Chains A and B, each alone.
Chain A
Amino acid sequence: MTAYRFTVNATPVEVDVPGMRRLLDVLREDLALTGTKEGCGEGECGACTVLLDGAPVDACLVPVCQVAGSAVRTVEGLAAESPALDAPPSPRELDPLQAAFLTAGGAQCGICTPGMLMAARAYLDAGGGPDEEAIREAIAGNLCRCTGYTKIIEAIALAAGSGRPA
């Protein structure tokens, strides 16, 4: 086994695990970051979406050896400060994207939400705007069963600055 070094939410980490271990399991079990979820294990639902050097990937399909030297970003890294697990964050501590989801009602059961937020984050970081078709395209790899996507799209458009999808 080799030790793999990379950063998670800007914090350097080193894990000594088999190279084909899924990044999803490294995050959830080895690093105790359970925010990233497993919905299917086959790269179809996007619940495990994280950012790898800024690009959205399904962590269930990424072996940890591919991540060496890269920057991984998860939902825990979105808010300004990582909240304590036993003290729910106040709405003021959320980043603008998370706050937009809260206001617009973009999360219902919440299981797709971490992956959805990361896909939205990548879209906004790449300069994405409030255009509805572009937002639908950006989150096409993230399945949601609760919302019908309507308020997720509104939330992302809100975070993009306009308030309403164009």
Chain B
Amino acid sequence: MSDLAIDIRNVVKRYEEHIAVRDLSLQVPRGSVYGLLGPNGAGKTTTIRMILDVILPDSGSITLFGQPNTNPGVLDRVGYLPEERGLYKKMQVRRVLSFLAELKGIPAAEASRRIDEWLERFSLKTSDKDWGNSKVDELSRGMQQKVQFIATLLHDPELVILDEPFSGLDPINAQALKDAVLDLKRRGKTVVFSTHVMDNAEKMCDSVCIIARGEKVLDGSVSAVKRGAGSRHVALSLVGGAQNGVSSVLEDTGLVRTVDDNTNFFEIELAPAADPQKLLRRLIDAGANIERFELVQPSLHQIFLERVGAQGIETGMSGHG
């Protein structure tokens, strides 16, 4: 038995006008939470669709749990939440869920039992009201998203693939989703999700792969990725922002290579051979009201900006990474 949930080797997908994925290889260990990071149009959705055998790669191989993803039954072990969510609107919630579970090889009676459990767990079935008997389009947007999430997990998949799961979620549902992902990890499942929100990825993922323009930029465990980026980063918090002469200090290319300016919080990459102590002294001299000055490992967000850069974001693409 392979200890890789997903093994992608040298996959290429060409379209008429552009190459969506070029020579991509990545390995997702079983039981890990894996982030597929990249700007819009980077090839994330194309990659995910190839993993799910929705589209065929032009060349390269994709195996799931050590078997080609085209083998019958392999995809029954995978749960998928697409970026664009949708269900049969005129269908009863219970029937939609049962249909999707049956497609994954779950017998109708077993599906029915699980649907009750899940509806109760997501408070879609209470003593007052059983939304399972309602039609999908009678549900609020938030409830529909819950139903879609249940559909992804109902057949108890070993591998769960979530495409941009956080887009369109309010903070409460986003937190619920994070809890659900961690719960899956605790139960030994593998979770892959794509996002361009680095903050979520940094907090949740064991490993990440950053892709841009269809190519892998870097991959590995989050800690290794951060270590690899060096520790020449400073986290700086200022009360009242960059007042007085602070701006000119931060613009000094002898000290600062790049700065991510968030008004009160700055993530600074030091210039090569620059001394952080000198930067601190200059800031104090400039009259900065410093709340925090800390040498840190760069955030994924910072690494992403540095490695992908503005050029990595191709415009005019379909919007499906």
> Does A pair with B?
no
